[in-house]
Amino acid sequence: KAGVTQTPRYLIKTRGQQVTLSCSPISGHRSVSWYQQTPGQGLQFLFEYFSETQRNKGNFPGRFSGRQFSNSRSEMNVSTLELGDSALYLCASSLVAGVNEQFFGPGTRLTVL
Amino acid sequence: KQEVTQIPAALSVPEGENLVLNCSFTDSAIYNLQWFRQDPGKGLTSLLLIQSSQREQTSGRLNASLDKSSGRSTLYIAASQPGDSATYLCAVPEAAGNKLTFGGGTRVLVKP
C-alpha cells in the first residue's frame, strides 16, 4: 500500500509570491491534516480536511489556505510569501475524522528568498 | 491548552545501551499518544500508538508506556543501534479530532 505522497519535495520562491503544495493520502484515508515544521517553533498544526470540509484550523494567518478534493487529495496554498514561511510542510492522513493514528508524508521543503 | 514536553532535547549513547525517552503532557484527558521518528530533513514515521486505555504498547525493540494520571509516556528502545539515531517526537490529539500537539522532540545519537 503506497504511503502519503507530497509534491513537490522542494520549492524555492521569493517574497510576495504564492505557492501551492499537494498531498495525496493513503488509499482509503479520508482525513488530511497539514503541519508546518520550523527549527524555532517545532511542529504546528495548520488545518485538517475531511470529506472536502475543513474541520479544524490552527493559529495561522489567512494567507494560509487549503482545500480537499473528492478523491481526498489535498492542496494547501500560501499567498504573499514571507521569509518566515520557510519551513518543512508536512501532510498527514488518517482513515476517518476523529482520533486516529496518523501517517505522515515526506514533506515539502519551502525556501523563501 | 495541552502542552507536550520532551526532556532531554538531545541524548547520546553508545551502541547497545537501552534508550529511555520521556514525554510529558499537561492535560491527562487524552485519547491516545503517538510516538514518531524523524530522520533529518524527512517526514515522520509512526512508531507506536498507545490508546488511553492501554498501559503499554510494544513493537519489536520498542516499548511505550503511558501513565495518564501523571501525564507521562516513556519510549524504551532496547539494545540501541547506530540506525536508531534520529529525532523522536511524541504527540497527543486535541479533544476528539486529528489535530496533534507535538513535543519538541529528543534528538538521539547512537555511537558505534
Could you report the per-residue pLDDT of B10-25, keeping only the tens digit for each?
999 999 999 999 999 9
CB pair distance less than 8 Å for B46 and A102:
yes
In angstroms, the CA B100 to CA A38 distance is: 16
Average pLDDT over residues A24-49: 94
Question: Which of B3, B87, B98, B107 is best to mutate for the A interface (most A CBs within 10 A)?
Answer: B98
Q: Which whole-number Å values give the CA distances from B63 to B10, B53, B89, in the listed order?
A: 20, 16, 14
Span A14-40, average pLDDT: 96
Pairing type for strands B72-77 and B19-25 reads antiparallel
| Average pLDDT in chain A | 94
Is-contact A105 A3, C-beta < 8 A?
A: yes
What is the structure's pLDDT at B94? 84
Q: Do A97 and B98 touch (CB under 8 A)?
A: yes
Considering only the beta carbons, identify the residue of A31, A58, A107 that sits closest to B43. Answer: A107
* DSSP symbols for B16-59: TPPEEEEEEES----SEEEEEEE-TTS-EEEEEEEETT-SEEEE
The pLDDT value recorded for residue A101 is 87
Each residue's pLDDT tens digit, A54-102: 998 999 999 999 999 999 999 999 999 999 999 999 999 998 766 688 9
* Nearest beta carbon to residue A99 from set B31, B45, B89: B31
Answer yes or no: do A106 and B34 touch at CB < 8 A: no
User: In chain B, which residues have pLDDT < 70?
Assistant: 96
| Sign of the alpha-carbon dihedral angle for B68, A41, B6, B51 | positive
Question: Distance (Å, rounded) from C-alpha A49 to C-alpha A32?
Answer: 5
How much is the pLDDT for B97?
A: 72
Distances, alpha carbon B109 to alpha carbons A2, B8, B86, B94, B106, in Å: 30, 12, 7, 31, 10
Min CA distance, A30 vs chain B (Å)?
Answer: 12
Task: Tell me if chain A has a CB within 8 Å of the CB of B101.
Answer: yes
Give residue for cell 538521539. B108
